[in-house]
Amino acid sequence: MVTATRREGSNACKLARRQESGKRRCAAVMAVYLAAPVGEGTTVDAAGAQRAEPRPMRVLLQRVARAEVRIREPSGARVSGRIDRGFVLLVGFTHVDDEVRVAWMAEKVVGLRLFADADDKMNLALADVGGALLVVSQFTLYGNAEKGRRPSFIDAARPEQAIPLYERFLALLRGHGLPVECGEFGAMMDVELVNDGPVTLWLER
């Protein structure tokens, strides 16, 4: 009987500790929620850890020595855009993107100082080196491969929304007086480039 009583007491203590641990985890989760307001791009998992949510408008930027995009056609490949020194931008849009985000991204791209100055430091922007832009639409930037082996692209904006945003992005870039070449939205394309560095940035807004 003494042994049984001790065992019961031990089990009661373990249960109490688990309950107390659960209370502490719950308190931790609530503290994170209170510290990160809704809409700040943060979610909280069951353990109370913060995780960044996918953000709108994505651009994969590569600094290049030269680049070219060709459109695949039944009669053969047609060159749609070609640049020498500059940036290649693979651009994707999602459902919540708007002109404000597009304008922010255009300003960010043209202002980035990714070219070397006389001291071999990244200190010069596109305009400083006479660079150009090659912009290619890329909905697969929103591919989600967390489940299964076939990516889901449900987060990518549909063409009726993405095309006006894409065209506006091109217009804003050209408005800065920079040479801008581009691919063709929705077409099958071959993109050929020489990454200089290599230098590659992932931009989100």
**DSSP string for residues in 96-158:** T--HHHHHHHHHHHHH---EE-TTS-EEE-HHHHT-EEEEEE-GGGG-B-SSSSS-B-TTBPP
Among 140, 161, 169, 185, the active-site one is 140
- Judge whether 139 counts as a catalytic residue: yes
- Judge whether 138 counts as a catalytic residue: yes
Buried b (16+ CB within 10 A) or exposed e, 74-113: eeeeeebbebebbbbbbbbbbeebeeebbeebbeebbebe
- Judge whether 50 counts as a catalytic residue: no
Among 87, 93, 115, 139, the active-site one is 139
pLDDT in tens, the chain (205 residues): 444 444 555 554 554 455 555 445 444 433 433 343 434 444 444 455 554 555 689 999 999 999 999 999 999 999 999 999 999 999 999 999 999 999 999 999 999 999 999 999 999 999 999 999 999 999 999 999 999 999 999 999 999 999 999 999 999 999 999 999 999 999 999 999 999 999 999 999 8
Among 138, 153, 169, 200, the active-site one is 138
